[in-house]
Structure 1
């Protein structure tokens, strides 16, 4: 399913001032939900920086077209692998194909996920669709992590990025499934990062901001919005993570469009900074 053989990055694709171009050349990335939206932008941005990129998605025809377009635009190597991230056998087969075709995976980006079909309070939501949304984010990420991270640990090298959201950190009455899923994904990231302490394998939450995609345009809360986060800002942060420049932020929340990349490179957070925690009600709070 490889769309292009190894070739140097196309000269028309500048690195945008990033320091990660040389560090990423020849590395391998796997991006889920790669056919459209943020996933599609990530595939192209990483391929332009010299990475071989495997894209996973359920709709094979759309995925193949997207990967072929990226290969033609960047001169990079791409691989289209149709897979359902919530199906264990499908994920295991897909990861096996990626390893066989491209080699060991250096960067995993868990981007695939659904959103609530209707903007209604939780008691009015269809329970099957509600759970399907949660599963797409949580089960999907857990299965890819389960399948890929052991290989990263054996090599003592790898980065995992879970695509978070502003709804990871605040409640939303109309998108309860999506908010629950993204919050759970943050806790999964921190659990993973904690388990990996002492190794050169790290995990991160990256919220992309409000990128102009079909999904965000379908949401009532963003109708009429004109202040979109440029997708390249998302790519820049994830490329810097892949290059090992933001390891101090492992297990923590980053947001494209708000966080300055140079500041992230120079700051070493500690304690509960950018993590999910209860706020004490005061000095006497026994849970404080």
Structure 2
């Protein structure tokens, strides 16, 4: 089976047994840039295919979760897949399964009811579902048994199967400067307080400037403490980031804070962005509070 290519439109049908990991799988496809739809009724596949074709190549990677929740229409799935083929859209079936014991344990832990357990017994629902999905399983391009798979290992397998080579391990990093007096960013993964460094606020000619100005950068960086800190923090990030990638993290927010978010934090965020950009990461630098209190009297 070939990998998805940039110039083709491919549709991945994510299906399989309830409790086998479809919800976790679609999140990975989302992170890989797929247009994702959960619980699409199979009889809508042809109409969805028409919309994809009409997008004239704007949507190239699509992942659709189709499972027994839409059992009223499930018998039409094979017809829908055949219609996609007639529309010129390649499709791959990604099938997830697990052992009966594992599925029973997962349903009990989540306190969810199996969609086919009309008798109330989870095992009855699982066995019935296996029977209904047997033909679809035989048609699958990919079959993954998640019995002994952690969420991280499932993610790695999906990335290996479906990611473009340049996407594998391509961590997206946001470097954010901020001011503590305006609050810590809510979505931060790593936070560093740089209020221990020399403060340009107390230099009259530097006070109205920001860390984007060369004069402020020179002042902050002339400190031996700043240079030593920057080397050590950069070394720590070079150690940490590959481990985050290995564990399946796709976006890392690194927040660097000083008092007002205008001088020291901006300077260091910019310097780190320059260094990390050389490591083949997708990187964005944001300065959350740089425009606040311009010319004010509060410390930065």
Same structural fold, with TM-score higher than 0.5 when normalized by the shorter chain:
no
Larger Rg over CA atoms = 2
Q: Could you say which structure has the higher strand fraction?
A: 2
Task: Compute the TM-score of the two structures, normalised by the length of structure 2.
Answer: 0.30
